[in-house]
Amino acid sequence: MNQERLLERFLRYVRINTTAREGVEDYPSSQGQWELGRLLVAELQTMGIRDARQNEHAIVLATVPATVDRQVPAIAFCAHLDTSPETSGAGVKPQIIDDYRGGDIPLPGDPDRLIRVRENPELNDLIGRTIITSDGTTLLGADDKAGVAAIMEAAHWFMEHPDAPHGPIRLCFTCDEEIGRGVDFLEPEQLDAVVCYTLDGQGGGTIDVETFSADKAVITVGGVNIHPSIAKGRMVNAVRVASHFLDRLPRDRLSPESTQDREGFLHPYVIRGGVDKVEIQVLLRDFETAELDRQAELLRQVASTTESEFAGAKIEVSVSRQYRNMAEGLAKEPRAVAYAQQALQRLGRTVRLTIVRGGTDGSRLTEKGLPTPNLATGEHAPHSPQEWACLQEMLDAARWIELLAEVWSDPSA
């Protein structure tokens, strides 16, 4: 793999603003995803991958042709083009730190922001490596452009090395993963593979084999608005009702701030509106899918209690399904994880099987019937201005793809 070329790719991709936008019906939700997708198609075609295309939903699909004449299963690799709406992805100015010497990393665009070692202890294991950050005024976009760059570099390597043995390799780049819509318009049949691997994991050497199950609740608080001068006995302030509703949700348990590991949570993350109407969006998360029903029931109980204390207020709770824990689906195709472990061992790396307190496109692809574990790509501290990436971990991800294709084509595997 070409480390310098990989870095150039990554820097090229992160400078394109692909921030996903919530509340937008269009897929993808931002024009930058179309732009990046077109760039990838052009690069893939330049490599000699003739079927590279961007479909009507801006999803990029391509196939690296098999190099062996025996029957070998097709495998797929997937990453997403969008970045999180939680922090701006416009005008990213990457900072490259060659031969990192240790210690906190200042961000030149915002002197009040540092990437602190105490919050990122994995930096201690990366002395001498190349670290990439933003300038502190935006996110970096390593989630998931590190995955995009790793897949693209691996594809380029495959096309340069037609003697490397492998079966058909499907490439897929989705949109709007960060707002839970990454595979709304992607079905397993479009990939025609026995397994898929998302390149969307943090750090290096990890295989995510389990994710949260997830639902989303929208709480609509209806009030009565009237001029404050004549409001006595007539106004029902939805803002005040909503604040009482939120205050009744558990804070010492069932919140992201108070949970870890396999503990689930309720996470109010959006609130908007005024006196007459307030909308609250709440994430429901747990590794045990049945717990989501209990969380939803808790929201309904809190809504009922709050409504009873404010005459004239109306509170509605609507819950929609998002994705499910990938663990059950992965059990149906044990080679998906076993071969990823073998490939990483061939790379000389220690393998760690991990869980994700979140979800990936792989969660929904697995639920749809295509086993899709998630591989590490060298991204760290995603969704924030303190996001950073390690170039050598990205390079390992690209080499991991190469070796995975080798293992899947090996009759003795």
Catalytic residues: 82, 177
Would the CA dihedral through 78, 82, 88, 89 be positive or negative? positive
- 84 contacts 200 by C-beta, under 8 angstroms: no
Q: Would you state the structure tokens that stand for residue 346, as one six-digit string?
A: 């061939």
Angle at CA 7, nearest 5°, toward 131 and 12?
Answer: 115
Choose among 186, 103, 226: nearest CA to 370: 186
Amino acid letter for position 232: K
> What DSSP designation does 65 have?
P
> What DSSP designation does 125 have?
G
Would the CA dihedral through 25, 30, 154, 70 be positive or negative? positive
Q: Which residues pair with 320 in a beta bridge?
A: 216
Give the helix/strand (H/E) hosting 34. Answer: helix 31-47
For residue 94, what are the CA distances in angstroms to 109, 140, 268? 10, 7, 32
Q: Which residue has the tokens 């691997």?
A: 197
In whole angstroms, what is the distance from residue 347 CA to residue 393 CA? 12
In whole angstroms, what is the distance from residue 247 CA to residue 339 CA? 48
Angle at CA 398, nearest 5°, toward 66 and 367?
Answer: 75
In whole angstroms, what is the distance from residue 97 CA to residue 119 CA? 18
- 360 contacts 367 by C-beta, under 8 angstroms: no
In whole angstroms, what is the distance from residue 265 CA to residue 341 CA? 31
Choose among 394, 409, 266: nearest CA to 335: 409
* In 252-304, beta strands by DSSP E: 265-273, 277-286
Give the helix/strand (H/E) hosting 355. Answer: strand 352-356
